[in-house]
Amino acid sequence: DVCSSDLFWEEEDCFAIDLQHNLNFYPNVTVKDSTKDVVETGITYHDPNKIILTMTQPFSGIAYLS
């Protein structure tokens, strides 16, 4: 199940998050869960403005782009 979101999401039943960031480049991505621990996720750059994060376990969190 893919959920659409901005850089913060609270959906705890999604194994993939579709992030539309509109930065017009391929940024570095750091993902943290709700306890602010860094979490490894799969990162797919769909295009310069869209990233898809995939997780083995769904969680709420935030993506930091740089």
**First vs last C-alpha separation in the chain:** 27
Global model pTM greater than 0.85:
no
Q: What is the spatial distance between Cα 18 and Cα 3, in angstroms, rounded to a whole number?
A: 6
pLDDT at 46: 94
Q: DSSP states of the chain as a string?
A: -EEEESSEE--SS-SEEEEE---SS---EEEEETT--B---EEEEEETTEEEEE-SS---EEEEE-
pLDDT tens digits along 15-64: 888 898 899 999 999 999 989 999 999 999 999 999 999 999 988 889 99
pLDDT at 13: 76
Q: What is the spatial distance between Cα 3 and Cα 11, in angstroms, rounded to a whole number?
A: 8
